[in-house]
Amino acid sequence: MAEEIKYLTPLEQEEAKAKEERYYMKKCIEEEKSRSSNYFFGFWGAFSGALFGAIAYGCIRSAGWIAAIMGLFVVFMASKAYDATKVKRNMYKLYCVVIACIIAIPVGEFLGSIIYVMGDEETVMHTSKYVTYYIKNFGLFMKYNFGNLILGYVFTAIGGYGVFKKIKDNTDKLKTMEEELKAEEES
């Protein structure tokens, strides 16, 4: 015998859709609340992502190109690595990402300079001397690369604004979901 196919009425479809939306909202809220509050771990995640971005920044810088736009990539990687740590995504995330990027941009400049020095056959033998010189005279190095650093920080700030906007939107969305669920439970 063939089973009879039952179709949902429009009212039943709306109820099923509302039930599915409530389930999704509860799941999102529970997922965010279950995240860790270990912001130190989140910072190290952001810092590792920022360093990965700094390596790419340095590689582009070593080719002689202006690598400042890679500041966006540094922020992107720091943000994604922070999210991978499963730490709460609130304003502390922004602080962790920004601090990690502030440290990573000079590291990228430094790596770019070292890679550039290693690219010359005559200076590759003396790379360790150049590295030692750059480390001992890091302030002088920063002074000579000040323009590149400022441009890198400008693009990092642009990317940081994107992270801030996303955090704010997610926080507002979760707050709205909680209010809707609370209002529905009261009625």
Give a yes or no: residue 69 inside a domain: yes
At residue 47, the pLDDT reads 93
Q: How many C-beta neighbours within 10 Å does residue 46 have?
A: 33
Which of 64-78, 97-111, 129-143 is modeled with the greatest confidence?
97-111
Give a yes or no: residue 19 inside a domain: no
Instruction: Give CA–CA dist 116/114, Å, rounded.
Output: 5
Give a yes or no: residue 76 inside a domain: yes
Give a yes or no: residue 16 inside a domain: no
Q: Cα separations (Å) of 180 from 14, 27, 112?
A: 16, 14, 51
Tell me which residue range forms the domain holding 55.
Answer: 34-186
* Structure confidence by residue, pLDDT tens digits, 144-165: 888 888 888 888 889 889 888 8
Amino acid at 124: V
Give a yes or no: residue 21 inside a domain: no
Tell me which residue of 83, 123, 75, 125 sits closest to 101, measured CA to CA.
75
Residue 87: φ, ψ to 5°: -100, 150
Give a yes or no: residue 53 inside a domain: yes
Give a yes or no: residue 5 inside a domain: no
Total domain count, the chain = 1
The DSSP H or E segment spanning 84 is helix 70-84
At residue 2, the pLDDT reads 63
Give residue 46's pLDDT band: very low, low, confident or very high (50, 70, 90): very high
Give a yes or no: residue 8 inside a domain: no
